[in-house]
Homo-oligomer: A and B are copies of this chain.
Amino acid sequence: MVKVLVVDDDQDLRDNLMEVLTENGFSPDSAENGEIALEKLQDDTFELVLLDSVMPGMDGLETLPLIKRTYPKTRIIMLTAFSTVNSAVEAMRNGADDYITKPFKIDELLVAIRRCLEEAKFGVCEEILNSDDMFKCLANATRRKVLLLLYRESKLRFMDLTRKLNIDDHTKVNFHLKSLKDAHLIEQDRRKNYQLSPKGKKIVSCMSSIASS
């Protein structure tokens, strides 16, 4: 169920939208200004926020960048009564994914919501397709072994790693380590110890969860 947060100071509009969204298979919640919206976003994960630009208290234009910075994957559609080209452009630049002017037809909004969520999916797709280095790296058994060794031992020097891998030619290990470094899966500290990067750590746990299925 897709969670949507409606942020508007007009209670009637909030109630109305909540009802329509529920009917259309969404799981909505609402907030009457920016502060409350941010609190709710902290407690729960929303895929989409419908954000009124003019509100008493913290308004939408102010809230927008705060939301986007903390929750970059959350989609935001701005709702506003005062439509000017400038404010629209400004909102889009600050990270709004779409922009609808009041009054709007409910179908218009639903279309925007669906397109917005659809694009979000595509976004994930793009990210995955572009992480080519990472997958190329994982394709090699030696390199996966290195990741696991570093996962278990936290830090290892070059020659220790080479010995643990049972590889006598150190230049071969070097080749693979370079490839892992280029893909940002491992990194070196000042003393040249090799260790997993945060990304590398994440991957090892993912690897085990996949392998054990």
Contacts and interface: CB of A to CB of B under 8 A. Distances in A.
Nearest to A127: B211
Nearest to A118: B152
Nearest to A206: B206
Given A129-B144, A129-B148, A148-B129, A212 B124 contact: yes
A124 B211 contact: yes
A139 interface: yes
Contacts of A208: 73, 124, 127-128
Interface of A: 72-73, 121, 123-125, 127-132, 134-136, 138-141, 144-145, 148, 152, 198-199, 202-203, 206-213
A121 B145 CA distance: 13
Contacts of A134: 210
Within the oligomer, what is the number of copies of this chain?
A: 2
A158 to B, nearest CB: 21
A210 B130 CA distance: 12
14 contacts: A124-B148, A124-B211, A124-B212, A128-B144, A128-B207, A128-B208, A129-B148, A131-B211, A132-B141, A135-B135, A135-B138, A138-B139, A202-B210, A206-B209
Nearest to A152: B121
A195 B79 CA distance: 37
Most chain B CB neighbours (cut-off 10 Å) among A73, A138, A203: A138
